[in-house]
Amino acid sequence: MSVLVVLCQVIVLSVLFFSEVCLAGKKIPANFVFGDSLVDAGNNNYLATLSKANYVPNGIDFGSPTGRFTNGRTIVDIVYQALGSDELTPPYLAPTTSGSLILNGVNYASGGSGILNSTGKLFGERINVDAQLDNFATTRQDIISWIGESEAAKLFRSAIFSVTTGSNDLINNYFTPVISTLQRKVVAPEVFVDTMISKFRLQLTRLYQLGARKIVVINIGPIGCIPFERESDPAAGNNCLAEPNEVAQMYNLKLKTLVEELNKNLQGSRFVYGDVFRIVDDIIQNYSSYGFESEKIPCCSLVGKVGGLIPCGPPSKVCMDRSKYVFWDPYHPTEAANIIIARRGGGGHGGGAGEDLAVVQEVRTTVEVPGEDLAVVRRWRCWGRFGGGGWDLAVVQEEVLVEDLAVVQEVEEAMVVVRWWCRWWSWRGFGGGAGGGGGHGGGAGGGFGGGAGGGGGHGGRF
């Protein structure tokens, strides 16, 4: 029995969330990461800023702090390892991020950063999106000097670009406690959101002009539910704060429209809208069904009603079992939550296959999968059990021939990879029927929980 020869690529983020299939043995596409603390891999270690995570107990599951704002891996880390990478994408500011290493990708994300250059100024130094793009432009020139302009263009066309930003523009700008009170009286939420979208349009267009073609754009999560926001309004009780979530959704709706616009107007572009809000909100509202015991109190906490007033640091108390908490600190998910977000981004129990049609269509046009592996897919019953809900190795062991277990074990915790492979086969017609609609806007039916629907434009959705 042959081993799995297809890996389905899903990036996120923070959440995050697109797919590309590669034949085993081919080089993993370069990974370029932009964003805030949800995906910062350590750039802020080198800045004069209050927004740092290079001290204990952050990184406890790495054995030591790395600069990541969580106990272990971010969503970007999880997915890139699922693709088969032995290394994590290095931070731009690290002295070792140089030479041929940059050909595999670079992480430019910075904690406290945002779309607007005014965002996060209370922290001190941070690298906002404009500056992150400047840094990528420098990397681009370095790559051209290494492999030449033609090969560099090929690298960028096949590379994965993800942008996870916008949360700080609300949390640490428009909704900054006390300081932003006057701003909110003068500037309506709609006006502020429009300012963000106008700026982000320019930034994403510039990224395209610098050679990016496959770009995942992650929306803002339910920020009204993070421990910090819950702490800021005791009157909310056990509920999430309504206004921050409403403004986040206002932004998300306009962002989705922007993604559709860019796909239409920028020739050869492949923008994908990552709906983190939907996924994280479901985790919070149904936390116990995911195996969590706390969706309000962070694992690493110090003071406050829910422990959300002070960032995670040496004086903080750390929970005994990090896998039982949705939040690591007042702002960021635990690695356990990140794994679930990545899995949900790959199909999970949210929505029908039609939502992801644009993603699988690109896969279909670029990759041929050896036919003998279809038998493995059929034995996994992709279009039934695995499409509608969660699955684990124990379930697979009951239904898969023994000689196929190595295939499953190869992907280990990155079960999202198999989900996307199954989704692709279902779209090809092996998993039930194909829905109506033509071109890139058609729907895919059959497998995956009976979902059917229409995808819009070239932009997929997670």
Please tell me which residue in 51, 232, 332, 356 is annotated as part of the active site.
Answer: 332
Please tell me which residue in 37, 51, 110, 113 is annotated as part of the active site.
Answer: 37
Please tell me which residue in 169, 282, 329, 404 is annotated as part of the active site.
Answer: 329
37 is catalytic: yes
Given a contact cutoff of 8 angstroms between Cβ atoms, the answer to whether 337 and 284 are in contact is no
Q: What is the CA radius of gyration of the chain?
A: 21
Q: What is the 3-state secondary structure (H, E, C) of the chain?
A: CCCCCEEECCCCCCCCCCCCEEECCCCCCCEEEEECCCCCCCHHHHCCECCCCCCCCCCCCCCCCCCCCCCCCCHHHHHHHHCCCCCCCCECCCCCCCHHHHHHCCECCCCCCCCCCCCCHHHECCCCHHHHHHHHHHHHHHHHHHHCHHHHHHHHHHCEEEEECCHHHHHHHHCCCCCCHHHHHHCCHHHHHHHHHHHHHHHHHHHHHCCCCEEEEECCCCHHHCHHHHHHCHHHCCCCCHHHHHHHHHHHHHHHHHHHHHHHHCCCCEEEEECHHHHHHHHHHCHHHHCCCECCCCCEECCCCCCCCCCCCCCCEECCCHHHECECCCCCECHHHHHHHHHHHCCCCCCCHHHHHHHHHHHHHHCCCCCCHHHHHHHHCHHHHHHHCCCCHHHHHHHCCHHHHHHHHHHCCCHHHHHHHHHHHHHHHHCCCCCCCCHHHCCCCCCHHHCCCCCCCCCCEC
332 is catalytic: yes
316 is catalytic: no
What does residue 297 show for φ and ψ, rounded to 5 degrees?
A: -85, 130
State the Cα–Cα distance between residues 245 and 105, nearest whole angstrom. 33
- Which positions are catalytic? 37, 329, 332
